[in-house]
Amino acid sequence: MIRALSILLLTVMALTGQTAALAETPPDQKAVLITGASSGLGRVMAETMAASGYFVYAGARKDKDLEELTAIDNIQGVRLDVNKQEQIDAAVTTISEAGRGLYGLVNNAGVAVVQPLIEIEEKDFDFQMNVNVYGPYRVTRAFAPLIIESKGRISIIGSISGTLSSATWGPYSMTKFAMEAYADALADEMRSFGVHVSLIEPGAYRSNIGKSALERMAEKNQSADDSQFKEAMDASVNWLSKFENDQGDPTEVAAAVMKALFDDDPKPRYLIVPTQEQAYWTINRAIERMVEQNHDQKYSYDREALIDMLDAALAKQSGEVLQ
Question: Which active-site residues does the annotation give?
Answer: 172
Contact 248, 205 (CB under 8 A): yes
Instruction: Classify the phi-psi angles of 197: left when phi > 0, otherwise alpha if psi is within -120 to 50, otherwise beta.
Output: beta
- Dist. CA 312–CA 318, nearest whole Å: 10
Contact yes or no for 82/109 (Cβ under 8 A):
yes
- Residue 195 CB neighbour total at 10 angstroms: 20
> Around Cβ 13, how many Cβ atoms within 10 Å?
14
Residue 282's CB: how many other CB atoms inside 10 A?
Answer: 20
Task: Give the containing element (helix H, strand E) for 2.
Answer: helix 2-16
